Chains A and B, each alone.
Chain A
Amino acid sequence: KAGVTQTPRYLIKTRGQQVTLSCSPISGHRSVSWYQQTPGQGLQFLFEYFSETQRNKGNFPGRFSGRQFSNSRSEMNVSTLELGDSALYLCASSLGEWETQYFGPGTRLLVL
């Protein structure tokens, strides 16, 4: 069974731009979570989608948004990029509630 895939793997943007990241979960998984990982803050939860509905949200500003499609694929959007948004963005999928999360390879975003 194919794992979680994320595209693109690397991205360079400038301040003020916006970016969209994509995540395809493991086949059959309906829950997709997004995390931001930085050396200083570790893994921080952004949001979680289940059956196209945002079920949980972390403490990030409204510039960070996401959505999930009927095929469980998910996208994350960051608008008005700031230097501090430079990070590894990880997507994780799971079958559902209380289930183990499996991570994708991540998208490394650099904001200049």
Chain B
Amino acid sequence: QKEVEQNSGPLSVPEGAIASLNCTYSDRGSQSFFWYRQYSGKSPELIMFIYSNGDKEDGRFTAQLNKASQYVSLLIRDSQPSDSATYLCAVNTFNKFYFGSGTKLNVKP
């Protein structure tokens, strides 16, 4: 079992819609959770992180964490074609970062 699991996609949404990206993790001892965006040929860039159960909002992005279900999600409101990228979920477990394989998001104009 992988430490972090993501659906590889692609996830296709129309421009202006809400994109919902999901991630599950295996270790209950995981402490912090991150979402990165990676454009093709580029390095990952941090979108946001979350440590506590519940929602955390930053602009059009909302991260949701449910430690009981070992589940992290990222919602992107008013999706734009420029949001088309691969989204990586990362989990910090005892100071080791584990990355999911990423979900490819396509936002269609």
Contact = CB atoms under 8 A, between A and B. Distances in A.
Interface of A: 33, 35, 42-43, 45, 48, 55-56, 88, 90, 92, 97-98, 100-106
A90 B43 contact: yes
Given A90-B44, A102-B46, A56 B96 contact: yes
A45 B96 contact: yes
Contact of A100 (B46, B96, B98, B99): B46
Contacts of B36: 103
Contacts of B46: 100-102
Interface residues of B, number: 21
Given A42-B100, A43-B88, A97 B43 contact: no
Given A90-B43, A98-B31, A45 B98 contact: yes
Given A97-B95, A106-B43, 16 more contacts: A42-B99, A42-B100, A42-B101, A42-B102, A45-B97, A45-B99, A48-B95, A56-B96, A88-B43, A92-B97, A98-B32, A101-B90, A103-B43, A103-B45, A105-B42, A105-B43
Given A43-B88, A106-B43, A100 B100 contact: no
